[in-house]
């Protein structure tokens, strides 16, 4: 059957009067366009139609930019921010999003990981948003954008719940999907030739970006797919009513987005049922902060029952066992981490501390030597190596390690403190006093350094200075004990 060359509607199989390749509506629009509206007067400029300014697209873009600017002004690096600041601003992360902070599922669509990330996404939003808003109307467009973003976040949580993610890409892929669905299955007032060209361009855009997401590490392709699939469904359903009267179209959109809301809620419940165990990681972290190690151990074991190869949870578990002086259990957890990730520096550091806690100083030395070999500019690793050498009664080697730490970081108070204690064992009391006093200068509120200072003065026979340092240690301890807790 023949179709209208302007809007694509089916034409009647026969007609009376003049034959035409336009439907009745488009024919009337063409007639109106040809009717004279008055001759232009000399010297009077011809009125031109105002350029289309999409209010919803402009608002969404502005919110994204304002959030990014606020992040930068609050100290978040402009190019490659770390995970910590992103989580503070609402990045999607299973232990939080599937636990006590589900708002991240939506908020993460307005958080971006650096200048390049937001620049690319906002350029794509401007290109696709203007067309989408004009075709679907402001409200339907905004709901489709939001629903696609949520769907992208949920599929991301289903695919990798323990990896933080952020950005508007899922919502933008939703716009691509909505346009494809409407152009292919809907009734859009665009000439068939133009429609085919636009559809081809959108399919290429989606295909290329999905391919890049699958081949370039660090891109959340699950979020892209979630947004694209949701957008395809919305575009296919809403697109069929675009040529209907406004009232009927609005009723259809209300029913459509009620259905979308039900689908998203059901999908969210499925994701939480499937991967909700990751929330135990957040509960365990809060239990550790609250001084509840037994609860933290229970939560971490629940997490590891679902994901026994998770190095983060195993490291946390080892740390909790360390706090209870349960060194054998801590060692078991750390050995599992190093089986999974042989170069995990955090696990090696804690394992060295476990060995030191068990007075296995030679084993601790081997671990800390690996740390300084992997990262020779890590001053804390040199301090730990020195402590293990000190424990093995190799004080001169320990002094050398502490001096290397100080050369790397002259403000490392712990390095000076340990250097002073090692020098006191070698009976170099003048050098010991100098080092411990430097530690006290760098960390004046640490009572333990003042006690060490008192001990060294006692070895020197300077009872007055020893007594003064001991009094300062007691005052600092009392001050720390009476200091009010900081509200969370």
- Three-class secondary structure of residue 243 per DSSP: coil
Q: Where on the phi/psi map is residue 51: left (φ > 0), alpha (ψ -120 to 50), or beta?
A: beta
How would DSSP label each residue in 44-111? PPPP-PPPP--HHHHHHHHHHHHHHHHHHHTT--SSS--HHHHHHTT-B-HHHHTTT-TTHHHHGGG-
- What average pLDDT does the segment 42-68 reach? 77
Instruction: Give the Cβ contact number of residue 120 at 10 Å.
Output: 15
Report the CATH fold assignment for 278-481. Answer: 1.25.40
Please say whether the beta carbons of 336 and 348 come within 8 A: no
pLDDT at 459 over 50: yes
C-alpha 287/C-alpha 291 separation (Å) is: 6
Query: Considering the domain 55-277 in this protein, what is its CATH number?
Result: 1.20.1540.10
- What average pLDDT does the segment 443-454 reach? 91
Q: In this structure, what DSSP letter does residue 277 have?
A: G
Query: Which residue of the set 169, 424, 454, 470 is catalytic?
Result: 169
pLDDT at residue 25 in the model: 56
Give catalytic status of residue 224 as yes or no: yes
Q: What is the domain partition of the chain in residue ranges?
A: 55-277, 278-481
One fold for 55-277 and 278-481: no
Q: Which of 398, 124, 154 lies closest to 274 in space, CA to CA?
A: 154
Q: Is residue 27 very low, low, confident or very high in pLDDT (cuts 50, 70, 90)? A: low
> Chain-wide mean pLDDT for the chain?
86
Q: Which residue has the higher pLDDT, 372 or 487?
A: 372
- What average pLDDT does the segment 64-77 reach? 95
- What average pLDDT does the segment 235-251 reach? 87
Q: Is residue 34 very low, low, confident or very high in pLDDT (cuts 50, 70, 90)? A: very low
DSSP-based helix, strand, coil % in the chain, nearest 5: 70, 0, 25
C-alpha 246/C-alpha 464 separation (Å) is: 92
Query: Which long-range CB contacts under 8 A does 296-304 form with residues at least 24 apart?
Result: 296/320, 297/321, 302/277, 303/277, 303/278
Q: Looking at 2-11, 122-131, 407-416, which range is the least confident one?
A: 2-11
8-25, pLDDT tens digit by residue? 555 544 333 344 555 655
C-alpha 166/C-alpha 92 separation (Å) is: 6
417-444, pLDDT tens digit by residue? 999 999 999 999 999 999 999 999 999 9
User: Given the structure tokens 């489709």, which residue do they identify?
Assistant: 144
pLDDT at residue 216 in the model: 81
pLDDT at residue 19 in the model: 46
Q: Which residue has the higher pLDDT, 200 or 268?
A: 268
Q: Is residue 217 very low, low, confident or very high in pLDDT (cuts 50, 70, 90)? A: confident
pLDDT at residue 327 in the model: 92
pLDDT at residue 479 in the model: 77
C-alpha 71/C-alpha 61 separation (Å) is: 16
pLDDT at 486 over 80: no
CA 416 to chain centre: 38
C-alpha 475/C-alpha 390 separation (Å) is: 30
Sign of CA dihedral 187, 189, 193, 197: negative
pLDDT at residue 64 in the model: 96
C-alpha 360/C-alpha 324 separation (Å) is: 18
Q: Looking at 74-88, 355-369, 431-445, 472-486, which range is the least confident one?
A: 472-486
Half-sphere exposure of 24 toward its Cβ, with a 13 Å CA cutoff? 4
- What average pLDDT does the segment 99-108 reach? 94
Q: Is the pTM of this model over 0.95?
A: no
How would DSSP label each residue in 357-390? HTT-HHHHHHHHHHHHHH-TT-HHHHHHHHHHHH
Distances 100 to 93, 147, 228 between C-alpha atoms, Å: 11, 21, 27
pLDDT at 43 over 60: no
Give catalytic status of residue 454 as yes or no: no
pLDDT > 70: what percent of the chain?
Answer: 88
- What average pLDDT does the segment 224-230 reach? 95
pLDDT at residue 39 in the model: 45
Query: Which residue of the set 132, 224, 388, 470 is catalytic?
Result: 224
């Amino acid at each position: 059957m023949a179709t209208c060359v302007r809007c694509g509607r089916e034409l009647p199989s026969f007609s009376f009067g003049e034959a035409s390749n336009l439907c009745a509506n488009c024919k009337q629009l063409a007639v109106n366009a040809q009717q004279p509206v008055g001759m232009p007067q000399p010297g009077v400029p011809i009125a031109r139609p105002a350029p289309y300014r999409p209010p919803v697209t402009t608002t969404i873009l502005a919110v994204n930019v304002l959030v990014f600017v606020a992040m930068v002004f609050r100290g978040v690096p402009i190019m490659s921010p770390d995970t910590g600041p992103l989580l503070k601003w609402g990045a999607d992360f299973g232990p939080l999003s599937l636990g006590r902070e589900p708002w991240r599922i939506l908020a993460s669509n307005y958080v971006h990981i650096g200048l390049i990330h937001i620049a690319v996404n906002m350029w794509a939003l401007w290109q696709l948003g203007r067309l989408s808003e004009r075709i679907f109307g402001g409200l339907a467009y905004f709901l489709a954008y939001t629903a696609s973003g949520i769907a992208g976040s949920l599929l991301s949580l289903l695919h990798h719940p323990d990896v933080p993610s952020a950005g508007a890409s899922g919502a933008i892929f939703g716009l691509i999907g909505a346009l494809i669905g409407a152009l292919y299955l809907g009734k859009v007032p665009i000439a068939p030739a133009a429609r085919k060209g636009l559809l081809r361009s959108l399919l290429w855009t989606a295909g290329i970006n999905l391919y890049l997401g699958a081949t370039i590490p660090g891109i959340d392709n699950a979020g892209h797919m979630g947004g694209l699939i949701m957008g395809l469904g919305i575009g296919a359903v809403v697109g069929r009513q675009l040529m209907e009267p406004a009232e009927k179209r609005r009723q259809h959109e209300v029913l459509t987005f009620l259905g979308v809301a039900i689908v998203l809620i059901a999908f969210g419940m499925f994701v939480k049922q499937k991967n909700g165990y990751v929330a135990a990681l957040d509960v365990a972290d809060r239990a550790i902060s609250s001084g509840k190690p037994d609860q933290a151990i229970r939560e971490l074991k629940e997490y590891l029952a679902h994901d026994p190869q998770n190095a983060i949870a195993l490291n946390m578990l080892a740390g909790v066992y360390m706090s209870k002086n349960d060194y054998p259990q801590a060692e078991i957890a750390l050995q599992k981490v190093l089986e999974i990730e042989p170069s995990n520096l955090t696990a090696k550091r804690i394992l060295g501390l476990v060995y030191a806690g068990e007075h296995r100083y030679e084993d601790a030395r081997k671990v800390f030597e690996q740390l300084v070999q992997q990262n020779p500019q890590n001053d804390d690793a040199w301090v730990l190596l020195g402590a293990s050498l000190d424990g093995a009664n190799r004080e001169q080697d320990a002094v050398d390690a502490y001096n290397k730490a100080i050369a790397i970081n002259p403000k490392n108070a712990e390095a000076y403190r340990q250097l002073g204690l090692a020098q006191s064992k070698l009976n170099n009391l003048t050098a010991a006093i100098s080092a411990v006093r430097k530690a006290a200068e760098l960390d004046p509120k640490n009572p333990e350094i003042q006690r060490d200072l008192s001990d060294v003065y006692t070895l020197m026979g300077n009872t007055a200075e020893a007594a003064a340092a001991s009094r300062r240690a007691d005052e600092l301890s009392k001050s720390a004990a009476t200091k009010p807790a900081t509200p969370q």
